[in-house]
Structure 1
Amino acid sequence: MVVTIPGDIGNLKNLEFLNLADNNIAGIIPPAVFNVSTLSIIALSLNQLPGHLPSNMGLWLEQLYLGGNQLVGPFPVSISNASQLTLLDMPNCRVLETLGLGDNTLIGGKLPGLVGNLSGSLVEFSADVCNIRDGIPSDIGNLSRLINIELAGNKLTEIIPATIGALKDLQSLSLSYNKLDGSIPSELCHLNNLAYLTSNNFSGLVPACLGDLISLRNLLLGSNMFSSSIPSTLTTLINLLILNSSSNSLSGPLPIDIGEWKALVSMDLSSNHFSSYIPTGIADLKDLTLFSLSNNRLTGSITESF
C-alpha cells in the first residue's frame, strides 16, 4: 500500500506544525500543503517523496525539513522570499537542474540565486550530500544570523568566499568531501564563535590566524594539500578537542608547546613530512584517546614520561 499526503490537507486552516517525517510516504507533495498560511514548520524528511517541489512554497515558513527523499528539479526561488525562515534542512537530497540517464549521471544544482536572498533570520543551512556544484556564492555573507553551515559531500569547487567572514555568529562550518581549492581565507579568523571547521582540497599555508579562534573545538584539515608547518599560534587553542591534519604535506618540527593542548582527546598528524623529535610536552596531554604520527620523518626516542 502506497501512503501519500492527502490533497485536502490544505483545508486545515489552523494547522501550525506538520510533522510527517520517517513514514515511508510516497507520491508528490500536494501544492495545497503550502497554501496553509498558519503553517510555520513542515517536516517531511526521511520519506520517499519524488518529483519537484511546488513553486508556491509558503513565504511564512520558519522551518523546513526535506532531507532523505527523492526530490528532483531546481529549488523553488519563492523560498528565497521566506522572511521568517530560520532553518532549512536538506541533507541527503538531490536538488537538481538536470537528471541524466540514471542515478549515476546526476548533474547537481547551484547555490547562487537561492542562498543570498534567503531570510536574514536563517540560523541553520544544511544541504549535505545534495549534489550541489560550482562555488559557494559570495552573498552568503548576507545571512548574518547563520550559526551552522553544513555543505559536506557535494561537488562544490572554487574557493571559500571572503564574505563568509561576515557571519559573526557562525559556530560550525562543514565543507568536507567537496572539491574546493585555494587557501583558507584569513577572514575565517574573524569568526570568534567558530567551534567546528572542516575543509578539503586546500593548499598553501595553514593560516597562523586560526589561533585567534578561541572557541574552536574541532579543527579537521585532513586530506588537503597544505605544505607549511603547523603555526605555533595554534597551541593557543587551549580548548581544542580534536585536531586532524593528516594526509597533507606539512613539514618542519612539531610545535614545541604541544603540551598546551591539554583538552585534546584526538590528534592525527599522520602521513605528512614532519621531522625532528617528539616534544616532551606530549606527556601533558592526559586525555588523549587517539594519537597518530605515522608516516612522517620523526627522529629520536619516545620520551619516557609519555
Structure 2
Amino acid sequence: MKFAGIDQNLNTCLGLIILRLNSLGGRLSDFDFSGFSQLTKVDLAVNQFSGVLPKSLFSCKSLTAIRLARNKLVGEISPDILELPSLSFLSLARNTFKNLSQALNILSRHEKLTTLLLSYNFFNETLPAVGISGFQDLKVMDLAGCRLFGQIPIWLMSLTNLEFIALSDNNISGKIPGWLQYLPNLFYLALNNNLLSGGLPVELTRLPALATHQVLDQVKNDNFELPVIIVPLNASNWQYNCPASIPPMLDLSYNNLSGDIPVEIGNMKSIQALYLSNNYFSGTIPSSISNLTNLEELELSHNLLSGEIPTSLTILNFLSSFNVAYNNLQDQLTKQGFVINVSGDTCKIVPMFETLNDLNALPMSTNNEEGIIREMELEKTFTVEKNEMLENYKSVHMNAYHEELDQDSKQNLDAKNEVVGQNNFVTFTDCEFHRFFR
C-alpha cells in the first residue's frame, strides 16, 4: 500500500523515516505507523501533510525524535503522545495547532524531552502565567512567532536545564524579569519583536553561561536527536547538530525598552551576538562592551543613544557586524567627513566619499542631522543609508517583522522592500535577523 508517496510495506525493522523537504501530501492520520515497531526517528518536515497527528504514530514506542514542522497539520496535541517514553525531540513548528496551555501541560510530563520547537502555532492565544511544572530535562524551548499575549512566565525559572529560550515575534508585554539570571545554562535568549518595556535589568548581565567561559564550556555536547535548523530572514539556513555549536546570543531588539544600557553589559564575556536595536535606550554606549572579546555582531541602531562611540571597541577583533545607525551619536572624525575602517589589527581613516560607491565594503551608520557616520568594517556588507528618515519608519519596520515570512515568500519580501525604499535610502541591507527554529 502507498500513501502520500510512502511505501507502507517497508521493512518492519526500519529505524528511521527521513523524508524532509519533499512534496508529499495527504492526511497524515490516514497513514498507519503501527507496523514500524523499531522506528526511532521520523522527519517529515517541509511537506504538505494535513489533518491531525496520527494516533498510530504513538504506537511506535521506540521513538526518540519527531519532526513534522512546516506542514498543514491542525488540531490539539493529544495526551496520547505520553505513550512515547523515550521522546526527547519534538518539532511541530509552522503548523496550525491550538490550545497552548493544554499542550504545555501534557508535554511537561515527558521526562526525557529536551528539545521542544512549537513556533508559529497557537496564534493569538495567551502564554500561561502559572500552572506549568515539569520539563525538568528541557534544554530548548521555542515559542516564537505565535503572536502570544501575556508576560514572561515565572514557571520558566524552574526549568534550570534550559539553554535556549525563543519567545520572539509575539505580543509579550511587561518587564524583563531579573530572575532569568537563575537559569545557569541559558546562553541563547531571543525576546525580540515583542512589547516589552522598562529597562535592561542588570540581573540579565549575570547569566552564568554568558558571564564566564567556564560555565559555557560545561554545557553538554550531546547531539540533538535531529539537527536543529535556525532560519534567518536574509541568510541561508543554519543547521546545528549539538547545543554547543549554537553561538551565545541575547536579542532584545524591536521592543519598547528604555533607559541606559548598563555598564555591567561588559560582564557577558561569552556572548557572540548582542541585538538591542529599535528600542528607546538612551545615554552613552558603555565602553565596557569592549570587554566582550568574543562579540561578532553588535546591533544598537534606532535608539536614543548619545555621546561618542567608544574607541575601545576597536579591540574587538571578531566583530564582523556593527550598526549604530539612527541615534544621536557624535564623533569628531566623522564630523569632518571621515570614516574609521577597522580590519584585524589595522586602523585606517579614509574620506567618506571614497566608500560611497563600494557596496561590498563599509558599514555606514547615520546618526544626527549632520549625517555623522562611524564605521567598523571586517568582512560583511552593511547598511548605506541617507539621513532622511520618516517618523513612522519604526512602526513600518516592526509590522513587517511581525508578518509571517517564509523563505519562499518572495512576494512578501518584495513588498517589504518597496515600503522601505520609500524612505529614500541609497541602498538597504537589513541587519536584523528574523529567527525561528524548526
Who is 2:143 aligned against?
A: 175
In the alignment, does 2:250 pair up with 1:243? yes
In the alignment, does 2:235 pair up with 1:259? no
Please give the per-residue CA displacement for 1:111-135, whole angstroms capped at 9, x wherever unaligned: 3325753423210001121233442
Q: Aligned-pair distance for 1:271?
A: 1.1
Name which of 279, 282, 287 aligns with 2:289. Answer: 282
Q: Aligned-pair distance for 1:292?
A: 1.8
Show the 5 A alignment for 1:159-170. 159-160=127-128, 162=130, 165-170=133-138
Show the 5 A alignment for 1:154-303. 154-156=121-123, 157-160=125-128, 162=130, 165-199=133-167, 200-240=170-210, 241-303=248-310
Q: Which runs of 5+ in 1 are unaligned?
A: 1-6, 9-25, 96-108
Q: Aligned-pair distance for 1:145?
A: 1.0
Please give the per-residue CA displacement for 1:213-244, whole angstroms capped at 9, x wherever unaligned: 22122111100111121221111125332111
Could you tell me the TM-score, scaled by structure 2's length? Answer: 0.56
In the alignment, does 2:40 pair up with 1:56? no
Who is 2:120 aligned against?
A: 153
Show the 5 A alignment for 1:18-167. 27-33=4-10, 37-53=12-28, 54=30, 56-58=32-34, 60=37, 61-95=39-73, 109-113=74-78, 117-136=82-101, 137=103, 138-156=105-123, 157-160=125-128, 162=130, 165-167=133-135
- Structure 1 residues 186, 303: closer, same or farther in 2, change over 3 A? same
- Give the secondary-structure state (helix, strand or coil) at the position aligned to 2:180: helix
The more displaced of 41-50 and 182-191 is 41-50
Q: Aligned-pair distance for 1:32?
A: 4.3
Q: Distance in 2 between matches of 1:191 and 1:175?
A: 15
Q: Aligned-pair distance for 1:164?
A: 5.1
Q: Distance in 1 between matches of 2:274 and 2:292?
A: 10
One-letter code aligned to 1:258: I
Who is 1:104 aligned against?
A: none
Q: Distance in 1 between matches of 2:171 and 2:192?
A: 9
- Give the secondary-structure state (helix, strand or coil) at the position aligned to 2:90: strand
Contact 1:230/1:255 (8 A) holds in 2: yes
One-letter code aligned to 2:51: G
How large is the Cα RMSD of the aligned pairs? Answer: 2.5
Q: Which runs of 5+ in 2 are unaligned?
A: 211-247, 314-438
Contact 1:94/1:131 (8 A) holds in 2: yes
Q: Distance in 2 between matches of 1:175 and 1:186?
A: 15
Q: Distance in 2 between matches of 1:80 and 1:243?
A: 37
Q: Aligned-pair distance for 1:194?
A: 1.4
- Give the secondary-structure state (helix, strand or coil) at the position aligned to 1:298: strand
The more displaced of 203-212 and 273-282 is 273-282
Contact 1:49/1:69 (8 A) holds in 2: yes
Contact 2:53/2:77 (8 A) holds in 1: no
Aligned residues: 268
The more displaced of 76-85 and 283-292 is 76-85
The more displaced of 161-170 and 202-211 is 161-170
